[in-house]
Structure 1
């Protein structure tokens, strides 16, 4: 009934997760667990596509290995969600807004929908993050920690292993591809505890740039000027942490400028920010070089 696909590179986390799944998914529930051993042997898109190819059931669940389930008998709950009409991806964290600039799915608090116990690998304490308003909350982007989808939907989209060779951007690309044809949801009746927060490094940014270039598509009916401004400024800040400030790179960032979505005051604020990047480019570039040398 459910094929659970895990790209694994941490044996202890994987074994704990398997034991936890066996204890929580439901006694009579039919499932298989497909580990793809992947200590950077392939990108996560390739690993997930390989797992899906090997799967024998009509429902797929792509999971991170550094988590455990807190909800009992969650298998039947998940299948109930997946079998509802026009359902795309079922997740536990996502966003109902897609900005023009490449950045995290955590677009803005008012659009983020989350139901997860968030912790880290160094601290045993986790925090419950919950902003769901109903059992099924409509979203576009879904976080990759938990991606459930019917195989017939997956076969129309799949993970883009030609575009993304590493371990970033796969969830945003996949969920946006599915969102063009189906409705994605974040649900509130399956709770997991996750033990890492991700790594928003320069590789992550580059992957998200590729995804945003691919999905030049308007997802929501109306643009939110404040959200577009904040995300574009966040993109600029991260981009110039990774790339030198020069004329070529300044022009490149303008390709994601949400011109028609902003108010006049927003244009002024962003223009001022560009001026400061150019004015202090020598200091910014020097700081980049020092940071790279210290790594």
Structure 2
């Protein structure tokens, strides 16, 4: 399986062709370079290339990119061969608003692209880095678009004259037709442009919106990303899991059930600190404690005070042999074996790490937090949740 690379340029540059050949690392790569002074739109050029290309896998890219990744051609072929996607890019979004501007909703953007201008290079991180994964998107930026021709249901729209919004229109039309689109992360490139908008861009945006005003906003639901492979540890230090609770037993039972179902960790105790549940609710909890295979104990408190009660449980009710304490809300549910994974991090970093947390998601699968950020702003410490309400602003594996 091989690849066709397509680009439009005002002036042919043999060095750029050599760069593409060298970095893609494919011996028989086909390169279709179209010299175009602006007489033809990119849509027209790219449609012509789709018809001319010898290969089923085609990459459309700008003529002002430099690839940092070697063997990127093999990576693109692997993604297209082994996924359901018909279109892939290196930057895009899971939600296109009524403005038609893909980067306008930063909570839902995806990808990583380096930019270079006026002697400076910087990285635009539209999301976390997900290595070899493909993250679902509704559209991708035209700086790099890889397609599987056999899965495309729409070509480029030649009614869009010029060099803007051909990419977004192409993606949205295919997305609406059922073609899957994604963003990849193991192809690294530098775009020698800052991507400024101009009058032509605004004009073609108006053209695009006139066509798609009834199709926007176009939004995908966030996709949960997590590792579910079993983790084996050399040691299993005892963990005391402390859960403060009051009423709404279904929350507590869902939490406990998820721990029993998702975790294989063998050495823990659970202490439910009840702060005022009704007598029938307490009876349910005690019944569970007496019948479950989990090492579950209940301690009653007369009033709720988060810090005071957690301290009391740690010093007065937890096992003195416990090496680790897990403070856990009663309204969380595990989606994988986060307990074993956190102990794994502890085992590997005992000398340098004293507190470990896991990524939390809201019910809509957006991020509640992927860690706590501490930032000094004009001598004032600001505390915030990293990735709050974003789709993919976190690091894979955390």
TM-score normalised according to structure 1 size: 0.68
SS class of match (1:6):
strand
SS class of match (2:7):
strand
Question: Per-residue deviation at 1:133?
Answer: 4.6
Contact 2:94–2:220 under 8 Å retained in 1: no
Q: 2:167 aligns with which of 153, 168, 171?
A: 171
Normalized per residue, which structure has more helix? Answer: 1
* Cα distance in 1 between the residues matched to 2:209 and 2:128: 26
What pairs with 1:101-112 in structure 2 (closer than 5 Å)?
Answer: 101-102=99-100, 104-112=101-109
Per the alignment, residue 188 of structure 1 pairs with 185
Q: How many residues align?
A: 214
Contact 1:153–1:178 under 8 Å retained in 2: no
Per the alignment, residue 129 of structure 1 pairs with 124
SS class of match (1:60):
strand
Question: Per-residue deviation at 1:124?
Answer: 2.7
SS class of match (2:86):
strand
Structure 2 gaps, min length 5: 222-398
Question: Per-residue deviation at 1:69?
Answer: 0.7
Contact 1:63–1:144 under 8 Å retained in 2: yes
Measured on the aligned residues, the alpha-carbon RMSD in Å equals: 1.8
SS class of match (2:95):
coil
Q: 1:76 aligns with which of 63, 74, 77?
A: 74
What pairs with 1:1-295 in structure 2 (closer than 5 Å)?
Answer: 1-11=2-12, 14-26=13-25, 28-102=26-100, 104-120=101-117, 123-130=118-125, 131-134=127-130, 135-154=133-152, 156-161=153-158, 163-180=159-176, 181-215=178-212, 216-217=214-215, 219-220=218-219
SS class of match (1:116):
strand
Q: Which entry has the higher C-alpha Rg, 1 or 2?
A: 2
* Cα distance in 2 between the residues matched to 1:107 and 1:78: 27
Structure with higher RCO (Cα < 8 A, 6+ apart): 1
Contact 1:97–1:107 under 8 Å retained in 2: no
Normalized per residue, which structure has more strand? Answer: 2
Structure 1 gaps, min length 5: 223-295
